[in-house]
Amino acid sequence: MAWDQEAVLQFSEAICEGLSDDDDGLKRDILTHAGNRWSLGVVHLLGTRGPLRHAEIGRLLQGVTQRMLTRTLRQLERDGLIARHDFQEKRPRVVYSITDLGKELLIQMLPLWHWIIGSADRFRAARARYNE
């Protein structure tokens, strides 16, 4: 892929300068979702499987604890990436679904995932060189 690295770096700098210091915490929070296994797992599940209940998400995300899943769901809901719908029934029923913002996150992550998968051999080689 041919791209002008200098132009991309200048574009990146302009974007960073355009954000206020107040946005710094917000940027970190959102980047945390993008790099967090549980956050991405939840967003991916809801984006590909549709609305799910807490227990269903927990079963599908192998290794996540109930505490971590609850925390992750709350953070994703706070940031508008997922929505929580409480049906207000006697037997509690709550369903989580992806929002348009969450779908955008998934779409924006695709090029990064593609790059990571395509560069896996280079990462392995770099690690091997480092460990020598």
Domain CATH number, residue 86 = 1.10.10.10
- Which residues constitute the domain of residue 70? 23-131
In a domain, 11, yes or no: no
**pLDDT tens, residue by residue, 76-131:** 999 999 999 988 878 878 999 999 999 999 999 889 889 999 999 999 999 999 99
List CB contacts of 102: < 8 A, sequence separation 6 or more: 43, 46, 47, 76, 80, 81, 82
pTM of the predicted protein model: 0.79
In a domain, 13, yes or no: no
Rounded Cα gap, residues 46 and 33, in angstroms:
15
In a domain, 83, yes or no: yes
Rounded Cα gap, residues 20 and 59, in angstroms:
40
Alpha-helical regions (H) of the chain: 5-18, 24-35, 37-49, 54-60, 66-78, 100-118, 120-131
How many structural domains comprise the chain? Answer: 1
Rounded Cα gap, residues 132 and 117, in angstroms:
24
Q: Is the pLDDT of residue 2 over 70?
A: no
**pLDDT tens, residue by residue, 8-66:** 888 888 777 766 666 777 777 777 777 788 999 999 999 999 999 999 999 999 999 99
Give the pLDDT confidence score for residue 19 in this predicted structure: 67
In a domain, 18, yes or no: no
In a domain, 61, yes or no: yes
